[in-house]
Structure 1
Amino acid sequence: PLLLLDNFAHHGIHGKHMCSVFELMGPNLLDVIQHYEFKEKRMPLWLVKKITRDVLLGLVYLHERCKIIHTDLKPENIMIKLEPFEEEQLIEQLKNYKVKPISMKYLKNLQTSKNPKSKKKQEKKKLKKKKLQAQNSENKEENEEEESED
């Protein structure tokens, strides 16, 4: 059994998302697949069957009991539960991890900021508009000069 520690709604720039916090988990399924590919070995059939069975049982539970349809099912989102001694090893590895987590201050800024691509597009449009205005005024001046010469 997997222990659910917390469940809450998060309202961000992309709308409302339901979040669930579980006990510490191990690697995701993609990590396991890549581990076997790196060793140039096939994943043992018993492990494939166990993971498949557990995922399907979890989906049935979510659908029938919780009335939830998982819409983002992929290996990265399937977490593997560790044995207690493996948890301790993972915690030690995480303590030595070099990359620092994103600060909450940064996350707050990210939630309030707009799409950076759209901002760039707006700046390009403004620049293009200024260039066109400059060209139009130059053409207008040239036309006026030509008319005055006639």
Structure 2
Amino acid sequence: MVELITAFDKAIIRRLVELEADAFGAGGMNEWQLVPLIRHGHVYVTRKAGEVIGAVQYMLDWHNPKKAYMIGVSIAKEQRGQGVGTGFIKETFTPLAAEGIEEVELTVDPANAAAVKVYKGKLGFTVTEFRRDEYGDGEDRLVMKLSLKKCK
């Protein structure tokens, strides 16, 4: 189940920061980043037994308003490897497509073979570009895209 977070809720923000820290360490999002994304982007969550177990954040591409950039995905550690994240990400595509989004783009560490496998093999993304030093020296990224035209 996908839930779009549209209001400021301290408990949800705290939980999202926890998930981000667990998934990305110091590179995870904090309150200062999440609150503007909730107000001006799209932050989707999924729950299990009422608890938030995953989040996906999107922002629009100013140069192509029919494209959303997937900023990040975080899934609770105990839920990983069970298809929860893949199913959740896939579910977010339907409301995006309903809003007129035709393409989703993301970047991923090329060394993160598990994520690349999910994005390509299970979600249908294609690699469109390699960006050397995208996030600093040695922080390379693969650019991946997915057409949502079939989700409408």
Please state which band the TM-score falls in when normalised by the shorter chain. Answer: under 0.3
| TM-score (normalised: structure 2) | 0.23
- Structure having the higher Rg: 1
| TM-score (normalised: structure 1) | 0.23
Structure with greater proportional helix content: 1
Structure with greater proportional strand content: 2
